[in-house]
Amino acid sequence: MRVVIVGGGAAGMLAAISSSKNKENEVIILEKMNMLGKKILVTGKGRCNITSNLPMDDFIKNVPGNGKFLYSAFNNFTNRDILELLKKEGVETKVERGNRIFPVSDKAQDVQKALIRIVEKSGVKIITNCKVIKILISNLSDNEAKNNENNKQVCGVLANINGKEKEIKADKVILATGGKSYPGTGSTGDGYKMAEELGHTIIKIRPSLVPLTVHENSLKLCKNMQGLSLKNVGIKFIDLEKNKSIYEDFGEMLFTHFGVSGPTVLSASAHLLRYKNIDELLKNKKVVLTIDLKPALTEKKLDERILRDFSEEKNKEYKNCLNKLLPKKMIETVIQLSKINPEKKVNEITKEERKNLVSILKGLNIYIKGFRPIEEAIITSGGIKTSEINPKKMESKIVKGLYFAGEIIDVDAYTGGFNLQIAYSTGVTAGMN
Ligand SMILES: Cc1cc2nc3c(=O)[nH]c(=O)nc-3n(C[C@H](O)[C@H](O)[C@H](O)COP(=O)(O)OP(=O)(O)OC[C@H]3O[C@@H](n4cnc5c(N)ncnc54)[C@H](O)[C@@H]3O)c2cc1C
């Protein structure tokens, strides 16, 4: 049986490895870039967060929306399985904060290369610089159609190889073309169109794990502090219409020339995009990010700390007394927000003024406008509707012999190695069927 895999990312490679275990299969990967697994190189800031060390049951909790669809796939191929596979190929791993697993070498390239070697050793034929344009289907005979929900079956693909169009025959096709983010790595959303042409529904594509833009006044603040990364801050996104918290977190965030980014903000984006009426709320300035710059201190304790700092530098001007309290890049902004004359001697600052300063440090407000474009997102939310895919096999319920794997499916997880695990597990499941 000939199995053609469209797309040689993490999902496509694992599908190939798993499919080639059946020695009767002739397995071919068609990849439009000049190498397999280009996206793996940019993962985990070039270090590749391979998977998570959490028990597999907890993986589903980290896939907001449609997590249960992955139950069988996660069972078929676990985090232990990918680590074992990589270990056999010489990739040692380590567990870091937040149960994130990385290669000991801190090089994503080692993971990519190991997977390519395994694919090659499995006897899989790899054709790079080969862009698949269309999936070819034939009608089932009346007799066969009786036993199937539908009467369509894959029979091959149409591909562009070195500028020439060519039909490649296939008994089964696994579509693993990824999402639409970071198009430079090859994922430009081609698979959605191909699947749609065959009758599949594409759930609206949206960027997830993506930086956020901010409204005008907040933009000035962000630009002033651009490049500043804050560690150990508390963040809270609030729906101002309902006065309700949308997402809370603690950790690292970053100011940029367009707004905010960094790990906690990226995670927040996955929650925001699922929040009811979010686009309307964002447009109307009804979503605020409140940053607690001193989460370890209560307002009272922070006030005492400021008093202490100020009393040590009695005759100094306010503008010169904040270095112990704040990173340098933040001082000017906080001075402006506090509306205290920067030249005022600290011993002349009133209790009221100090109270205002404390409230800024405990709740710096940034008004969120929207999401950065999908090209900058870590993951694509939306994709092939899960109810049109058999979760036990990853096979299409619309076209016989067509399978899906990886980010193309309408599942997306939080950060922490879960997205790559989705690619491996769905890839293996598609490949073994
Ligand atoms: C900056 C960044 C950092 C990330 N870091 C992590 C991390 O540390 N941990 C984690 O778990 N996840 C991470 N992710 C997410 C993770 O990389 C993806 O979820 C995962 O790579 C998806 O795998 P995939 O095989 O489904 O798709 P892809 O890796 O996108 O692979 C799809 C492949 O299909 C090919 N293709 C597309 N169209 C065609 C066509 N028409 N014909 C032939 N080939 C085609 C593409 O060239 C590509 O090689 C990160 C993502 C980004 C962008």
Query: Residue 314 maps to which CATH number?
Result: 1.10.8.50
The two tokens of residue 89 are 């190929």
Residues 39 and 172 reside in one and the same domain: yes
Beta strand 26-30 with 125-127 is: parallel
Residues 364 and 394 reside in one and the same domain: no
Residue 119: band (very low, low, confident or very high) from pLDDT cuts 50, 70, 90: very high
Alpha helix segments (H runs only) across 77-189: 79-88, 108-121, 142-146
Residue 141: band (very low, low, confident or very high) from pLDDT cuts 50, 70, 90: low
Q: Per-residue pLDDT for 261 more than 70?
A: yes
What pLDDT, on a 0 to 100 scale, did the predictor assign at position 101? 98
Residues 218 and 274 reside in one and the same domain: yes
Cα–ligand 1 centroid distance for 180 (angstroms): 9
- Kindly give the number of the ligand 1 atom that is closest to the alpha carbon of 419: 11
- Kindly give the number of the ligand 1 atom that is closest to the alpha carbon of 133: 41
Tell me the Ramachandran region of residue 307: left when phi exceeds 0, alpha when psi lies from -120 to 50, beta otherwise.
Answer: alpha
The two tokens of residue 215 are 């409204």
Considering 318, 344, 371, which residue would you say is the last residue of a domain?
371
| Closest protein CA for atom 49 of ligand 1 | 9
Residues 322 and 389 reside in one and the same domain: no
Four-point Cα dihedral 259, 262, 264, 270, nearest 10: 70
Q: Per-residue pLDDT for 142 more than 70?
A: no
Residue 313: band (very low, low, confident or very high) from pLDDT cuts 50, 70, 90: confident
Residue 366: band (very low, low, confident or very high) from pLDDT cuts 50, 70, 90: very high
Considering 371, 404, 420, which residue would you say is the last residue of a domain?
371
User: How many domains does one find in the chain?
Assistant: 2
In percent, how much of the chain has pLDDT > 90? 94
Residues 141 and 183 reside in one and the same domain: yes
Residues 202 and 216 reside in one and the same domain: no
Question: 3-state class of 116 per DSSP?
Answer: helix
**Parent domain of 146:** 2-207+380-432
Q: Per-residue pLDDT for 140 more than 80?
A: no
- CATH code of residue 133: 3.50.50.60
What is d(CA 330, CA 77) in angstroms, rounded to the nearest whole number? 47
Cα–ligand 1 centroid distance for 110 (angstroms): 16
Residues 107 and 226 reside in one and the same domain: no
What pLDDT, on a 0 to 100 scale, did the predictor assign at position 284? 97
Instruction: Over range 70-91, report the average pLDDT.
Output: 98
What pLDDT, on a 0 to 100 scale, did the predictor assign at position 143? 64
Cα–ligand 1 centroid distance for 299 (angstroms): 45
Residue 130: band (very low, low, confident or very high) from pLDDT cuts 50, 70, 90: very high
Does the Cβ of 12 fall within 6 Å of ligand 1?
yes
Residues 150 and 282 reside in one and the same domain: no
What is d(CA 118, CA 407) in angstroms, rounded to the nearest whole number? 21
| Closest protein CA for atom 29 of ligand 1 | 9
- Kindly give the number of the ligand 1 atom that is closest to the alpha carbon of 108: 8
Residue 146: band (very low, low, confident or very high) from pLDDT cuts 50, 70, 90: low
- Kindly give the number of the ligand 1 atom that is closest to the alpha carbon of 48: 8
Residues 86 and 234 reside in one and the same domain: no
Residues 139 and 279 reside in one and the same domain: no
Residues 197 and 246 reside in one and the same domain: no
Digit-coded pLDDT (tens) for 162-184: 889 999 999 999 999 999 999 99
Q: Per-residue pLDDT for 145 more than 70?
A: no
Considering 350, 371, 392, which residue would you say is the last residue of a domain?
371
Four-point Cα dihedral 337, 338, 344, 345, nearest 10: -130
What pLDDT, on a 0 to 100 scale, did the predictor assign at position 389? 98
Residues 203 and 216 reside in one and the same domain: no
* In contact, 7 and 423? CB cutoff 8 Å: no
